Every structure is written in C-alpha cells, then in structure tokens.
Amino acid sequence: MTPEGTVIREGNTEILVPLEHSVHGPGKKVGSVFFNEQMAFNRDVSVMLLRSLERDSVSVADAMCATGSRSVRIANEVPGSDVTANDISPSAMPYIQANIELNGLTNCRANCSNLHILFTEESFDYVDLDPFGSPMPFLQSAIRGTGKRGIMAITATDTAPLAGAHAPKCRRRYQCEPIRGFMCHEGGLRILMCNVARELAKFDRGMKPLLSFYADHYFRTYVQITEGAKAADDSLAQLGYMQYNMETMERSTSRFPDEEHRLGPFWLGPLHDAYTISRMSPEGMADERRCSKYLNLWRGELDDQVFVYDMSELSSHVKMSPPRIDDFVDFLNNHGRASKSHVSPTSFKTDIDLDDLQELYRQFSPDAQDGPNQ
Ligand SMILES: C[S@@+](CC[C@H](N)C(=O)[O-])C[C@H]1O[C@@H](n2cnc3c(N)ncnc32)[C@H](O)[C@@H]1O
C-alpha cells in the first residue's frame, strides 16, 4: 500500500515524502519517517560528485536513507549506479518502495537492516552516512562496509559540539578540543575529518578528501579511502593542534600539543581534491544557482591555508569599518594570496601574515583617507 504523503520533484527525480516533514534546520524527526527539504542541496552535491567520477558502475549504500530520497536521486541521476536504500526503520520501507516505483528504477533496492549488520555482510564502492547528530557511533561499521579505495560520505549535524558551543560533548564524541569564535565552523569540519582519519588508521587505511564543507546546519565530508599502513601514517601526519587568541587574532598550528596549542586535534590537510571539484557540474540539480555558487567558492578556496579570517574580526580588532569583502580579497591578492571561504559570506583565507594583514586592512578600510570609498 502506498503510504500517505506528497510528491515533490528534486533534480530529475520524483520523491514521495511524508506530509509532515522538516523544511529547514537540523535533523529532527517530525513525522513517522524523516525528510528535510533543505537537504536538497546536500543530495544535489552527492549526485554531482558521483556523476563526476564517470564510472561504468558504482555500488552505493545509502545506509540511513529514511524515505530513500538520496537513494532514488542517485539511482535515477547517476549513470552506472546500483543503490541499496537502507534504513533500520520498518516505517521507512513503504516510502522507499514507493519512490523506487515512482521513478521506475531497476537499479535500486529497499533494505531494512541495522547498518552495523549490513556492513558486516556486504561492502560497497560508496557509503553514505546521514544520521541524526553525530556520525561517530556509525563510523567504524561504515569503514568495514566501504570497499577498497571506496568513497565515504559523512554528514554531521551536531554543529554545537563540533563548533565549540558545547565543548564537553565534543570531547566525549570526538576526543577533540573544539575552537570557538570566527574559526569555529572550519574547526568543526576539521574535527570531523580528524576523526575519520583516526578511525580509518585503525584499519591500516588512509584518506584523500574529495570535498568537505559546512552549509546550513551541518558538516559534510567526502573522502576516498587510500589503502595500507603507509597511507594511514600519511593521513595521521596531517593531524595537528592549534592556538587561537581572539584578543590578538593570532593563530598558529603545531604537529603536537603543547602549552599554547591545546585546541584539536584537527585535520590540517586539504578539504578538497581540485580535480574532483573541477569536474562537478550543477546542470540539472534541484538548486542549480546554489550549486554553482558553492562550486565557485570551493574551487577558489586557498586549500593550503587552514586559518579563516572574518571581516568583522578585523573591523573590531583594527577598529575601522570593513570594505566590501570581494574588493578586499582582490586587494590582498596584489600583496599575497587570498580567497573567500565557503563557511561564511564574510570570511576569507590568506597566506599574508597577521601584521601585514592588519596594515593592509587599515589602508583599505573606507575610514582610511585613501580607502576604497573615499
Ligand atoms: C537524518 S535521517 C536520514 C535522512 C535521509 N538520508 C534523507 O536524505 O532524507 C536518519 C535515519 O537513520 C536511520 N537509522 C538510525 N540508526 C540506524 C541504524 N543503526 N541503521 C540504519 N539506519 C538507521 C533512522 O531510522 C533515520 O531514518
């Protein structure tokens, strides 16, 4: 029997979703089966990334799929995909089945399993983890279920602990000391990635991040697994600690913790793989404009810099009004390297040292005699 609901269109796919569902915000179940409209962008990114691989075949486990929205989008929109739409909840099954039928899919099957059991029995080229809150209780099983050089896609919606608003919970879940203030979101993303690397290392596996981001209320990372003890050691070598002084704006990293560097550990390696993101296309996605905007931000981001600065941080520290961020980033590029950062519309990255950065800001602020608006 078809369950109650309403049919929406996302990308090129029709999806039956419960009448009562979330339209935005963090994952909370409002009806019997979870669906969040705002996560359309998150699903768009999965489709764009999987398409960019251009593989003849790719086996996919959407391990916590609820209505199967991501599963059917992948099965329908990624050529060569073969999707297992899994959820532990029996109430999710009629929605998944209805969505498979609605799109006439023969490459998608509904599966009602605890993912911890599924991943002891089968492995896949691509495994997706999309839990309520932290993915940590599921990570080890997901690693077992990801085949050689497979890809794991991991969402974390426990933004408050990861971004330092609830440090004790971050210590419990991630055994990391989070960062507060203007670097909190990139810090949270890097704590999540650090934990993926640490967990993989237990299996003599390493990781190459393909794409990692913060958007809306969640963190998301796509990593390609690299195999062997050396790969694991290489990934662990990318972890490190930070100090961040909000009074002075000073930031620095250290491979090992010390008196000053007590925050972390964080993943200090790249967030993205330039080749992968260069091949992703927004064409046909549910929100093409947003996909294009983020693709441009990710592609332009200075990915060898771990520190994020914010215009408000500079303006309150230097005590001069901020110029437009695009103009300021252009100006900085005449003196070093700089880019906008995807984590917030007012944040940027640069390799210019702090004293020079503050001096350049003083020169470029509209309050300066020869500033941009004078
Ligand atoms: C946030 S929802 C997933 C949303 C879905 N991916 C989407 O895009 O709409 C989390 C889902 O995980 C399922 N779940 C929780 N624990 C599980 C487990 N151990 N194995 C499989 N599914 C599980 C829940 O039943 C719930 O449907």
CATH code of the domain in which 353 resides = 3.30.56.70
DSSP annotation of 92 reads G
Taking residues 26-54, report their average pLDDT. 87
pTM score: 0.96
Same domain (yes/no): 243, 204: yes
Taking residues 230-236, report their average pLDDT. 98
* Residue 373 lies inside a defined structural domain of this protein: no
**Residue of the nearest CA to atom 9 in ligand 1?**
35
Report the pLDDT value the prediction gives residue 92, as an integer from 0 to 100: 97
In the chain, what is the straight-line distance between the N-terminal and C-terminal CA atoms, in Å? 69
Report the pLDDT value the prediction gives residue 20, as an integer from 0 to 100: 72
Same domain (yes/no): 281, 312: no
* Residue to substitute in 17, 47, 88, 216 for testing ligand 1 pocket (most ligand atoms within 8 angstroms of CB): 88
Q: Which of residues 236, 261, 293 is at a domain's end? A: 293
pLDDT greater than 60 at residue 14:
yes
* Residue 254 lies inside a defined structural domain of this protein: yes
Same domain (yes/no): 188, 94: yes
Binding site membership of 89 for ligand 1 (Cβ less than 6 Å): yes
Report the pLDDT value the prediction gives residue 2, as an integer from 0 to 100: 83
Quickly tell me which residue has 């909190």 as its tokens.
184
Taking residues 178-199, report their average pLDDT. 97
Same domain (yes/no): 264, 148: yes
Gap between the Cα atoms of 211 and 226, Å rounded: 15
Question: Is 371 or 109 the better-scoring residue by pLDDT?
Answer: 109
The β-bridge relationship of strands 251-254 and 239-244 is antiparallel
* Residue 337 lies inside a defined structural domain of this protein: yes
pLDDT digits (tens, 9 = 90+) for 280-332: 999 999 999 999 999 999 999 999 999 999 999 999 999 999 999 999 999 99
Same domain (yes/no): 209, 356: no
Binding site membership of 18 for ligand 1 (Cβ less than 6 Å): no
Output the average pLDDT for the chain.
95
Report the pLDDT value the prediction gives residue 32, as an integer from 0 to 100: 79
Indicate the burial class of 259 (C-beta count within 10 angstroms; 0-12, 13-18, 19 or more).
exposed
DSSP annotation of 372 reads T
Percent with pLDDT over 70 in the chain: 95
Same domain (yes/no): 201, 144: yes
pLDDT greater than 80 at residue 18:
yes
* Residue 298 lies inside a defined structural domain of this protein: no
Indicate the burial class of 202 (C-beta count within 10 angstroms; 0-12, 13-18, 19 or more).
exposed
pLDDT greater than 70 at residue 84:
yes
pLDDT greater than 90 at residue 80:
yes
Same domain (yes/no): 130, 196: yes
Same domain (yes/no): 80, 107: yes
Q: Which of residues 293, 324, 356 is at a domain's end? A: 293
Taking residues 114-138, report their average pLDDT. 98
* Residue 369 lies inside a defined structural domain of this protein: no
DSSP annotation of 90 reads G
* DSSP string of 169-193, one letter each residue: HHHHHHS-B---GGGHHHHHHHHHH
How much distance in Å is there from the Cα of 131 to the middle of ligand 1? 5
Could you give the count of Cα atoms lying within 13 Å of 258 in the half-sphere of its Cβ? 6
Same domain (yes/no): 319, 244: no
Same domain (yes/no): 229, 313: no
Question: Which SS3 state, helix, strand or coil, does residue 301 take?
Answer: coil
Report the pLDDT value the prediction gives residue 374, as an integer from 0 to 100: 47
Gap between the Cα atoms of 191 and 177, Å rounded: 9
* Residue 299 lies inside a defined structural domain of this protein: no
pLDDT greater than 70 at residue 363:
yes
Same domain (yes/no): 37, 133: yes
Domain, as residue range, for 322: 308-364
* DSSP string of 186-247, one letter each residue: HHHHHHHHHHHHHHHHTTTEEEEEEEEEEETTEEEEEEEEEESHHHHHHHHTTEEEEEE-TT
Give the domain CATH number at 256: 3.40.50.150
Report the pLDDT value the prediction gives residue 89, as an integer from 0 to 100: 97
Atom nearest to 116 CA in ligand 1:
19
pLDDT greater than 90 at residue 19:
no
Backbone angles phi, psi at 211, to 5 degrees: -165, 130
Gap between the Cα atoms of 244 and 166, Å rounded: 18
* Residue to substitute in 20, 35, 87 for testing ligand 1 pocket (most ligand atoms within 8 angstroms of CB): 87
CB 281 within 8 A of CB 11: no
* Residue 372 lies inside a defined structural domain of this protein: no
Task: State the total domains in the chain.
Answer: 2
C-alpha angle 304-307-310 in degrees, rounded to nearest 5:
130
Same domain (yes/no): 107, 52: yes
* Residue 104 lies inside a defined structural domain of this protein: yes
CB 301 within 8 A of CB 272: yes
